[in-house]
Structure 1
């Protein structure tokens, strides 16, 4: 055989081998590529999982939600022997959403039989720790607490649940009430898991069997009755992801669900879901979580819901808009009844309870909108103080803010304004009168109530905080107490000139002030100048003291702004808000002891840790003796002076106060106080036009009307050791003996008394010889 033929055969036999090798090479390259792709994919997936894990942990272990600030009113504490009003307590309970019943059987109810009040109080976190639901028995006889019981055990004191004033919703417009798993009724939890994820405690975040089961049930029902997503997936969707429906988002949802299940316990996930699930829309604010959902739909706490209400609330998870009970009641009833039937089938309801629940109406609140902030003027001041104490970030962490707010005082204040302003406008032929009133507890400085205008509930311009007006004669007590502090020189009997005067300012312009009645009395005593609010004696006294000394007294009582002193300031030509005036008089009403007036008493975190608490500290800004003398004079103002109409308006109750009127009758003021409350009242017009009202004809009737409604606690005079009752000669103001004629008795500071043995006129004994021998 030739070499040529042999080579040809060899060539033919090598061709299949080369092809196979080539195929193997391609296969190897594909395998390597796939291996690399797999590695790269796994690496990418790993990086992505690390990212998702970090995202989950950052949210779940940090501040999960921006939770509204919850603002509460005064926390009322009752103790044996304390003075309390049973009617006021029951009114408070009704305002706080408690139901008045014949027999108390569940949380949120109360009953009253004669002097005995029984309350089934909701769980609430009080100062001494978390409190469970408990039954309170309170017996009050003649406004005195005689017996107290908690769960039938006698106690010496107890606390009532404070009123929730408002929920200050954060910028993201998500509103929720955080609840713990322990607070939830077991029936609600069992039903939720039955409807949304019955295998919750048996899967790892994703449930293939659940998807198949849901698909089968939906096909059999001919509509969607059950979802395929686990409760964990729903939580991921609500907490971490957008609402878009894409495959990428669904994969991300599943991965994050697996991470959640790996990182956290089932109970933690369930509690987060309960607080995160979207349940409706309260206009601009979304309603999130079952805690707020119960309030939004029924005006109740979760523990107060009936089985039918629980079923309706869980029905909303499916679609709050589609099953909206206000807009689509028929759909809502159908969905609720479906939930009830499943509850019955799974033995979560008895037959009797199922039939009763299925036949019951929806029983949602009459109006969709959650109650607006009822007391916006007061809450504006709360907000102002809150911003001083906490950052905006901390304010979104579910904090509770406790205040000194008294709903009863607030209601009475608003009632007085609504009644009196129209009467004053009609009587004095005026229009557009506005007002502001502030009620402060003298002992603590806590502001109990506040009105910023005549329209209650209006959230606009707050005159109590922001209206800067001339304070008129309200400045006078500060001038007089500055004099009384100089006890070596002044006392209540000191003589002041009341004659025409002319003063010049720096540019030579003349000022000729007059008394309100245009009369001059020649000379008057210091107490007469204050009691009758005389301008000329006050100016003479202020100029004698020195304007700088008067400025020091104003600042000592709490005015914090710069003062430009000039003679006209002595008659109140200085602009202050009612809140600033209230602060000045708080020290006067509390016997010279200065404390800052405030609304907020305490702020606690969502974990019941105290973040800030008002310290009951202050200082003595006026001497006790001078404060006592001023208090004595202001009490005389209400008996014989410019506020003497209070004697018949308040039936001769012991009260102190001062009227104030600015130029041209533009501002009408009255500040009064009894043994418990200081009340600041302003009345005027926003355009600063004359009102035709003095302090005694305008603001004083408003004050009196409120005090009559609230009830006056008579002032109790405690005379300091340094005060002595002294005889003074009226014409000279000197302390004299009983031998002198034309005398008057006033309290005075003992250290400043120098008794004179000389009289302008000695007392003449006009008794007959018989009376002298045998007595009167």
Structure 2
């Protein structure tokens, strides 16, 4: 028998157990979901942090590259001459006044702020603006100059006696980059404290306490706006505004706000508050000048008021800060009432926070906007000179280097440029009326010792930026070439001296193709023989041709190249009378060694170029090369001085009375070109007059170009030429008939400087019976000889 299985008992779950099971399962699912959610959140958080970190690294790189590199395509700033004054130096207070006004200084009764000056008959007080002269920003200082009889007797810098002071140069122009973003970079030290305090008050009063983003500032701005019933404060920090202007677009999206906040935090971490504030001062958008944006307070001060930022008064500062909120909405030319209301609101905040006094507040409220009359900024005042600067700058710096905020210091003199243009305005209309012709003009003024070009005019219309005749009009130079011919002779002192006799008779020369050339003297007369010095002083053609042919055309060409002409020369006889074509600036270079006692410098406009950090990128290096002998230079200078005293330029003896100058006239065929080159002890001036259609002018060098030269020298002031006799040159007596040196004085002789080395002396002058009249006695008169 098989055993029976015990009967299985079927258990029925209780009600309690059946309800517990789903609850446990639900808890389990919840735990698993919670665990999954936590892990997912953690993973996503880590992933987010990782992505944000990577993105922050990218933003950090972007911020650093921009902020530490070339932040802006800043215009090239071109400055004039650094004006230096020292005790004992000459100074005309009237000229100083004109220069200060041109540099946008304001004449006042009492000097109180940078950019102001006061004058009396014997004293000038100038509050010099802060400026970087190349070794860092020099703070604004008060300068006092005591002057007597146009001589500086004492100098004071902040009431401390000094021997020398320097004024900041005139800003000639800004050369804009391709971006068309115009800026005037200013340092934080150069910004008035009232402007900085008010800017922080209105835009971000917690700037020095937050880390780039300020929730408290947002709440405060919201409260102030609700309280005022309009928007009076913004919620963004200055750092956020800087990020928006410098790195981001103006799109109003959440993503842009995220980027703005992140980059603001990065900027605050990387850089100091002062660095950020200075960047903001130079970056903020403050208006539009047609196609060009106005960026930064430095340019805005000039754009709205025609002033430097240091010269702004209280109400003008308030208006600029009002522009931050919306330059288009608060455009003072289009919406003056709206702008005035916003300005007065800023002024009220300044008074409430005790940035200004009650008197300043009430006075500012009553003042008009005082903006410039029109939006259009005046065109360049000196376009001809700027063309020369740009041409030189392109040779010294690449286009990329020119976009890094470089400053260019030139030799430009506002005093001499003004005198040049005034001379043209005064004399040219009379010359045009006299000739019945529409004349054009070009003039170049240079310091012949340094080679620096001080002033330049490329046409008769001031401020015209068209064809620059001083640089690009190549015309025949006529008799201006003659000093090169005589120089070649005087360098050969064993054969020639100032008393050497040269044939002055009609000649005919034949060219290679058989054509005859018959040069003539200007007056059509001939003297048979003339002394070398007189041939040059009277600008005689025939003696010059004879001398040049005797020396050889190749030797003449070599002399022209030695003087500084770099172009090719076709050696033919007509070159001896100036058939060469040169521009006025090339002629000016040709005469530099003659004026500078044989030492040549390259004529130039640019003296020095520095970058935004004050490092010198390029600087003119003086050569002081003696290209011709000091003896020949002295003898030629003696002859050119005689040109001004008794030769073709003798009208200078009454135009500039009792002044010692030298120069040379030049007239081309049919009087198509009128030239004059003249110099005193400091300046070399080249003048050309003519017509653009190349028709005759009816003017010679002495009746045309010389008139403009004399007027300029009269206005500028003449430094009479001083002569220093070089070694081996002495005054020697020469027999007029033979041209030879004699050891004893006689009636028919003259004293001339000459190189004495190897000079042969005759014992006495030649006796010429035809020129000596024997005195008859009373016995001879009655009874005959």
Return the TM-score normalized by structure 1: 0.93
Q: Distance in 1 between matches of 2:321 and 2:371?
A: 14
Aligned pairs for 1:370-381 (under 5 A) are 370-381=377-388
- 2:213·2:236 contact (CA, 8 Å) conserved in 1? yes
Name the counterpart of 1:774: none
Q: Which of 347, 350, 353 is the matching residue for 2:357?
A: 350
Q: Which of 194, 197, 208 is the matching residue for 1:190?
A: 197
Superposed displacement of residue 17, structure 1: 9.1
Does the residue aligned with 2:208 lie in a helix, a strand or coil?
Answer: helix
Name the counterpart of 2:262: 255
Q: Which of 662, 665, 675 is the matching residue for 2:671?
A: 665
Q: Distance in 2 between matches of 1:354 and 1:396?
A: 41
Name the counterpart of 2:473: 467
Does the residue aligned with 1:412 lie in a helix, a strand or coil?
Answer: helix
Q: Which of 210, 230, 240 is the matching residue for 2:217?
A: 210
Deviations 1:598-619 (A, max 9, x none): 1222223333333333233321
The answer to whether the aligner puts 1:293 opposite 2:300 as a matched pair is yes
> Could you say if the C-alpha distance between residues 281 and 523 of structure 1 is closer, same or farther in structure 2, counting changes exceeding 3 Å?
same
Superposed displacement of residue 234, structure 1: 0.5
Name the counterpart of 1:638: 644
Q: Which of 597, 600, 603 is the matching residue for 1:594?
A: 600
Name the counterpart of 1:234: 241
- 1:659·1:700 contact (CA, 8 Å) conserved in 2? yes
Does the residue aligned with 2:127 lie in a helix, a strand or coil?
Answer: strand
> Could you say if the C-alpha distance between residues 336 and 15 of structure 1 is closer, same or farther in structure 2, counting changes exceeding 3 Å?
closer
Q: Distance in 1 between matches of 2:716 and 2:282?
A: 41
The answer to whether the aligner puts 1:756 opposite 2:762 as a matched pair is yes
Deviates more, 1:286-295 or 1:488-497: 286-295
- 1:739·1:762 contact (CA, 8 Å) conserved in 2? no
Aligned pairs for 1:712-727 (under 5 A) are 712-727=718-733
Q: Which of 466, 489, 496 is the matching residue for 1:490?
A: 496
Superposed displacement of residue 319, structure 1: 0.7
Q: Distance in 2 between matches of 1:154 and 1:263?
A: 44
The answer to whether the aligner puts 1:50 opposite 2:57 as a matched pair is yes
Aligned pairs for 1:277-676 (under 5 A) are 277-431=284-438, 433-676=439-682
> Could you say if the C-alpha distance between residues 155 and 16 of structure 1 is closer, same or farther in structure 2, counting changes exceeding 3 Å?
closer
Q: Distance in 2 between matches of 1:517 and 1:382?
A: 42
Deviations 1:286-337 (A, max 9, x none): 2211222222222333333222222111111001111122221111111111
- 1:557·1:587 contact (CA, 8 Å) conserved in 2? yes
Does the residue aligned with 2:741 lie in a helix, a strand or coil?
Answer: coil
Q: Distance in 1 between matches of 2:7 and 2:338?
A: 98
Deviates more, 1:102-111 or 1:372-381: 102-111
> Could you say if the C-alpha distance between residues 26 and 111 of structure 1 is closer, same or farther in structure 2, counting changes exceeding 3 Å?
closer
Superposed displacement of residue 55, structure 1: 0.2
Superposed displacement of residue 181, structure 1: 2.3
Q: Which structure has the bigger radius of gyration?
A: 2
Q: Distance in 1 between matches of 2:29 and 2:129?
A: 82
The answer to whether the aligner puts 1:60 opposite 2:67 as a matched pair is yes
- 2:688·2:705 contact (CA, 8 Å) conserved in 1? yes
Does the residue aligned with 1:120 lie in a helix, a strand or coil?
Answer: strand
Name the counterpart of 2:715: 709
Deviates more, 1:332-341 or 1:514-523: 514-523
Superposed displacement of residue 8, structure 1: 14
Deviates more, 1:526-535 or 1:181-190: 181-190
Q: Distance in 2 between matches of 1:132 and 1:18?
A: 80
Q: Which of 170, 173, 198 is the matching residue for 1:166?
A: 173
Does the residue aligned with 2:692 lie in a helix, a strand or coil?
Answer: coil
- 1:646·1:652 contact (CA, 8 Å) conserved in 2? no
Deviations 1:327-373 (A, max 9, x none): 21111111111112222222323333322222222222333333422
Superposed displacement of residue 640, structure 1: 1.6
Q: Distance in 2 between matches of 1:426 and 1:186?
A: 57
Q: Distance in 2 between matches of 1:249 and 1:739?
A: 98
Superposed displacement of residue 707, structure 1: 1.3
Deviates more, 1:399-408 or 1:671-680: 399-408
Does the residue aligned with 1:427 lie in a helix, a strand or coil?
Answer: helix
Superposed displacement of residue 752, structure 1: 4.5
Superposed displacement of residue 196, structure 1: 0.7
Name the counterpart of 1:152: 159
- 2:748·2:765 contact (CA, 8 Å) conserved in 1? no
- 1:315·1:336 contact (CA, 8 Å) conserved in 2? yes
> Could you say if the C-alpha distance between residues 202 and 687 of structure 1 is closer, same or farther in structure 2, counting changes exceeding 3 Å?
same
How big is the alpha-carbon RMSD for the aligned residues of Structure 1 and Structure 2? 2.8
Superposed displacement of residue 102, structure 1: 2.3
Q: Distance in 2 between matches of 1:115 and 1:768?
A: 68
| Structure 2 unaligned residues grouped into runs of 5+ | 1-5, 779-785
Q: Which of 71, 74, 77 is the matching residue for 2:81?
A: 74
- 1:235·1:272 contact (CA, 8 Å) conserved in 2? yes
Name the counterpart of 2:751: 745
Does the residue aligned with 2:125 lie in a helix, a strand or coil?
Answer: strand
State the number of aligned residues: 769
Deviations 1:46-69 (A, max 9, x none): 222111110001111112122222
Deviations 1:579-610 (A, max 9, x none): 01000101100111111111222223333333
- 2:114·2:127 contact (CA, 8 Å) conserved in 1? yes
- 2:225·2:233 contact (CA, 8 Å) conserved in 1? yes
- 2:733·2:745 contact (CA, 8 Å) conserved in 1? no
Deviations 1:664-705 (A, max 9, x none): 222110001111111000111122222222111211111111
- 2:744·2:763 contact (CA, 8 Å) conserved in 1? no
Q: Distance in 2 between matches of 1:117 and 1:490?
A: 55
Q: Distance in 1 between matches of 2:554 and 2:572?
A: 10
